[in-house]
Amino acid sequence: MHYQSLTDQQCEASTLSDIVSCPGGTLIIGAVPVKNRICHYYRDASVRFQLGFNHFSQLVRIQIDMNPYHKLKLPLLDYEVDLGK
């Protein structure tokens, strides 16, 4: 599991697009690999997480993200196929 710990100052100065807001204390961001073959192939290879702590070291925010299923669009037929569902 890969993770990174950011202080409040590093979080404010960060340009990462995954960070929605800074919690006022330490922010731990990381990714957990997906072992399920279907989810790994059709959705995402990893699940991203963020744990936000305030300045009292209390957990105040949890965010977990995974890409949605891929869609195959057929413009001539005006039809979409959800892959992997």
pLDDT tens figures, 9-37: 998 888 887 788 889 899 999 999 888 88
Token digits for 14?
């960060």
What single string gives the DSSP state of each residue in 1-40? -EEEEE-HHHHHH---TT-----SS-EEEEEEE---HHHH
Number of domains present in the structure of the chain = 1
Is pLDDT at 74 greater than 80 in this prediction?
no
pLDDT tens by residue, 3-16? 999 998 998 888 88
pTM of the model: 0.71
* Domain membership of residue 29 as a residue range: 2-82
84 versus 7: the higher-pLDDT residue is: 7
Are residues 29 and 50 in contact, defined by beta-carbon separation less than 8 angstroms? yes
